[in-house]
Amino acid sequence: MKKLILGLFLFGLTTQMFSQITKLPEVTIKAVNYKYLSAVDTNVADMNVKNLEDKVAMYNLKNTELYNDEYDTYSVTFYIPDGYIVAAYDDNGKLIRTIERYKDVKLPMNIRNKVTKKFPNWAIASDVYTVKYESKDGIAKKQYKLKLTNSGEVIRIKVDGDGNVL
């Protein structure tokens, strides 16, 4: 029994001696429109919206059939079933501005909490999420249009990206 345990112990030590060290090639990641991602990607709960915004940020205009040296700006529209983004790019592929609109997205927790605290006994029936981004400011203006229901009554409110009722 001692020989078996000692043999397994030595076998375990010798297998590590034959490991290989491989050198991987360097990988560079080009962050094309990182300012856009940092402006819009705060506190969004819906994964479909995040994925579409990632596609807009990583879109390479020069590798498409749309690109032509004659134009200064390009307008590209990205769609998902719940919404769309209209993005304007300059001739270098830099994102200038976007207009985004989504229907019935999953609301962030802080928005839901603030609305239910301000309007107790009201349920959120539907929502429309809009974003306007300008590269000059580097700020994304977010707004939620909510439809609230309570015992057959309906009210509509607007909420900013922080959950403050407008």
Domain boundaries, the chain: 30-160
Q: What is the pTM of this model?
A: 0.75
For residues 36 and 78, what is the distance between their CA atoms, to the nearest angstrom? 15
Cβ(119)–Cβ(107) below 8 Å: no
For residues 97 and 60, what is the distance between their CA atoms, to the nearest angstrom? 15
> Is residue 155's pLDDT more than 70?
yes
pLDDT in the model for residue 14: 65
> Is residue 133's pLDDT more than 80?
yes
Q: What percent of the chain has pLDDT over 90?
A: 28
